[in-house]
Amino acid sequence: MRAIAGARACFENCSKHVLVDTLNKRDFEIILEMAFAVSGGEEEFKKRPFIQVHFPAISPLIWDENACETVKIAARYNIPIMISSSPMSGANSPIKLAGTLQLMHTEIVAGAVVTQMLLEGCPIYYGAAPTIFDMRYGTMSWGAAEHAKMAAASASLAHHCNLFASSPGFATDSKIPDQQAAIEKSMNLILAALSGVDVLAGAGLFEGELSYDIAQLVIDNELAKYVENVMRGVHTDEESMSVDLIKKVGIGGHYLDTDQTLQFFRTEHEESILLDRRSRGVWLETSEKTIYEKAKKIAADIISSDNEYSLPDKAMGEIDNIYRRNT
């Protein structure tokens, strides 16, 4: 029921590719029926599948029957498949981090073999989510530095197999949007990005993806922009080095009114609507003083505004009928 309701919300409100995270064959068949309605029929959907499915291993070295049944259907329609593994170091994988990575890689490669036996050329990618088992509390930790290191290392493993790499780059063990969430999300994200991970998941999520906050999604979007900016590096060519301009302005001058500043200040510097760069005096006059307060207002404004994307009435009606008939 949860997977069906989630898929319906995505189909009706989002124009992007959708991950259908269901391990139940019946639920997946219902979701597929809704996807056909969005595409205008089963044959049209086959031409451009706009959903993907999750094929997770159960460490160590087990594949759930329901997951296998779902993947059989997905392969039939050439639907992209995320083959994933989430071993916990010290619990269901070796305490040594390299051993955990070895087990994870073995499981994902095994999943790749299975999907290609079902349909050679079926699109797949490498879903790495290695964690540790915290011996003090008996819990999984995705905010730990060990997770960040292993997730970053997974990029090399995936690319060695010519696969895209995915990891929960926004992972945190925090239960609320606090300093812990900021530290763990930032470190996980930047390390994974610098290591070459292609898909970074988990925006808006807390406590190992057990809870969600719409304002945190806005914050994580800002964090993603920040990391994307860092990853672009500093472009260096003759014009960018600005040697002639430095000579022209000379000693003790300024660059505020130069043609270069006027031409490039919007592109060379990235503006932020969330991170505060104002003076203290201006900041004291504002109503939303914390980053969370600002993010919450931005989220509310987005939710209350008109949706630019909408399905045709016919497709909306078909989805509604399928949903009512099966829930």
Average pLDDT, stretch 175-195?
95
pLDDT confidence of residue 16: 86
pLDDT at 307 over 90: no
180: three-class secondary structure by DSSP:
helix
pLDDT confidence of residue 249: 97
**pTM for the full predicted model:** 0.90
Q: What's the CA gap between 34 and 323, in Å, rounded?
A: 8
pLDDT confidence of residue 129: 95
Q: What's the CA gap between 195 and 197, in Å, rounded?
A: 6
CB atoms within 10 A of CB 196: 13
Average pLDDT, stretch 288-313?
89
DSSP 61-115: TEE-HHHHHHHHHHHHTT--EEEEE--EETTTB-SSHHHHHHHHHHHHHHHHHHH
- With beta carbons less than 8 A apart as the criterion, state whether 132 and 144 touch: yes
Buried b (16+ CB within 10 A) or exposed e, 231-263: eeeeeeeeeeeeeeeeeeeeeeeeeeeeeeeee
pLDDT at 115 over 90: yes
**Each residue of 267-287: pLDDT tens digit?**
999 999 899 999 999 999 988
**Cα–Cα nearest to 130, from 174, 183, 83, 93:** 93
**Each residue of 53-72: pLDDT tens digit?**
999 999 999 999 989 999 99
pLDDT at 313 over 90: no
Instruction: Provide the CATH topology of domain 2-233+312-326.
Output: TIM Barrel (3.20.20)
Average pLDDT, stretch 281-299?
93
Q: Mean pLDDT in the chain?
A: 93
**Which residue ranges make up each domain of the chain?**
2-233+312-326, 242-304
**Cα–Cα nearest to 140, from 201, 182, 86, 179:** 86
**Each residue of 200-247: pLDDT tens digit?**
999 999 998 889 999 999 999 999 999 999 999 999 999 999 999 999
Helix (H), strand (E) at residue 122: none
Q: Is residue 318 very low, low, confident or very high in pLDDT (cuts 50, 70, 90)?
A: very high
Q: What's the CA gap between 305 and 68, in Å, rounded?
A: 41
Average pLDDT, stretch 59-88?
94
